[in-house]
Structure 1
Amino acid sequence: MTSTTLVARREQALGAGAPLFYNEPLHIVRGEGVHLFDADGRRYVDMYNNVPCVGHAHPHVVEAMVRQQGTLNVHSRYLHEGIVAFAERLTRLHPAGIQSVIFTCSGTEANEVALRMARMATGRRGIICTNATYHGNSEAVGKLTRLGAEQPAGGDVRAIPFPEKLRPIVPGASDAELCEAYLDRLRDAIQHLERSGAGLAGLIVCSILANEGLPDIPDGFMARAAEMVRASGGLVIADEVQAGYCRTGRWWGYEVTRFTPDIVVTGKPMGNGLPLAATAASKALVDTFRARTRYFNTFASSPLQAAVGMAVLDVIEREGLREKVAAVGAALKAALTQRKGRCALIGDVRGHGLFIGIEIVTGDGSPDRERTVEIVNRIKDKGFLTSNAGAFGNVVKIRPPLTFSQRHAEEFLDAFDATLDDIDG
């Protein structure tokens, strides 16, 4: 079957407009480790998917999934030691203030639980996010997606400019001055919510601003922003769906950007492909949420989720993936940064661990989304799968499974160089 035929069937079955990557969509049929294989048997290095964080079809995870499904899988209204042990293990990866967990099936759902938790705990409605973020697809969480910096009076969501150094809101400012300028915008948003009557329930932010394009954040901003939110009676929600599980070379993105959250949301990587997400917080916050909602999810807090979630943590720890991510990611980022000086298309290289963004620009330094899309498609044809992202869609997004090695990085660099040569000479 041709890809054209399959696309036509897909649009009939799923509805026209369901997103697909690349100008010529790939028909992927198998995955193994960091590789994906199409229907013709061609192998690609997966440099985008953080869902299979310990690699596609990892045997330890597959075995745990099969064993548990062959033994028992039920909803959460029965006692099961596995899910309790998994929750205990997950909370031990966070600071002492994170003590309890609500399991869900997606990052969207986990973020919605976090928003509801903050609103219940504070008795207020107002939520602050950045103006180029994404936290999920539901009606409530979707209100946060790519808002403008100014919201209508009376709304319960306010957006602030995401903090960055490349295109700062105060050109020419020092790092300290820039930090203050962004904090002023946060202060204004808090005051607006207070004047509107909504009040401040919380700030939700991806710990490394992944969807914003992994910007370099003015030093100290995240910690001081968290302090400001708490001083105003709000809670700080760290969305770790992309940043967590050692993606940055640390367990959590908030360790890299140096702040302490009140609520932590995790998702995609937790189940290595099995739907699994979590909202973790203090026992007091979780108890309040449970008392007021009697929250229940048929497929969450299941023995299957627990078995697979434990297996993923086993692999990360046994294979030393956190340390490998830090080393391989640092070397890859350094190599790409060297290329920045040699290629006018590269405006910036940013990121942490195995989450790197390459900003593609025009001759005057403006974002070049069209050229970024071209690079992504050309490098796909050379066997490496990336995508474009960021506030302007002009960042080549590199986010491979954590098992990605130095050899894979070197192969990618050769393909990347050849791609730039094809485009820019």
Structure 2
Amino acid sequence: MVLLSLAASHHDLDLDVLERLSSDVHAVASELVHSAASVTGAVVLATCNRFELYLEVDDAADAPRARELVARTVSERSGYGTDQVSAHLRVRAGTDAAAHLFSVASGLDSMVVGEREIAGQVRRALTTARRDGTTTGGLESLFQAASRVSRDVEARTGLGATGRSVVGVALDIAESELPDWSAVRCVLIGTGSYAGASLAQLKARGCTDVRVYSTTGRARAFAAARGVRSLPTGADLAAEVSDVDLVVACSGAAGAVLGVDALAAARADAAHPLTVVDLALRHDVDPGVRTLPGVRLVSLHTVSEYAPAEHAAVAAAHEVVTAAAEAYEADRRVRDWNPAVVAERTRVLGGLESTIVDLSDERAVRALRRRTRATLHGPTVRAREAARAGDAATYAQALAELASIPVPSLTDAG
């Protein structure tokens, strides 16, 4: 069993490219698992600034084929050629794959270093894979370990303890041209996890006049549960935002829900400025609104330009992640290589128990058991230590030594 990650992120690609790669992502995972014999499991992590697939394949030799299958499957949905998709995806395996996911889950690979939304997105990616039937024991173990490492990074380095996030940085940028937060009138577009995080940040800053809009019909329940108001599903959104100070958009709808022309018409007589924070990868708000008089747009591109990093905490966090990835991979090798060791021990110890059935001398039985276990102990320890270190040659030697140990006979009890 080999774990792979195929990842594209804001580090190398424009967000519009990531958006296209992320088209119908969960169908990609299902298709790979159910149609490709070489891929036994898949988990998709698609966020506002990354598209990543984590795969389990039977053998390292299957990795190139898995990459080809991913490129072809994503190509069919994104409109990019298979060669383009393949070029966009960086492939990692083993310890490198674990280290990358641990880094991602800890917020070290985000536009805002240390942001906390990503930890929840990693958990939800695994939950979705479970629901779709595409996860495996190996992927479960990897993603659960990533969540533990994320918590460990925060506890040991303080990174993320202040709640910094993409949402937080976007609102920090926005507030420079807003009135006092207690006087801000806001429309929040969306009812998902990012909308929940955005509303929490708005309330923490003192914003109480928030109205929620959604095209899905969930605004009323979302708003009622959080003590704010909602807008009717069929409301004229452009008209509703014409007299507010702030729009926070994070619905991820298929296409912009607030267009340039509609907003321009609604604000024809507006005398006050409007700040629009669009955190949706697929642009809830047409980027062209930035050209309208009195309208300021804060997008994910803006956030990426402003995001700072706490260098000392980040360096310490990377050390935690590296050590955790090495330990995880060592434990995985021990689990994967141990069955052969167990089989040899079972052969000898099982044979021993068959032999001593004919022994009536309890002292001789205890002595034979003790000598047999002592004989097995050395090569067993060497095999497991070699597995932990990834030393295949030493492991093979120790396993061969175990295989050469004969089943004890009655003459050995003398």
Q: Do both share a fold (TM > 0.5)? A: no
TM-score (norm 1): 0.29
Q: Which has the higher contact order (CA 8 A, sep 6+)?
A: 1
Structure that is richer in helix per residue: 2
TM-score (norm 2): 0.29
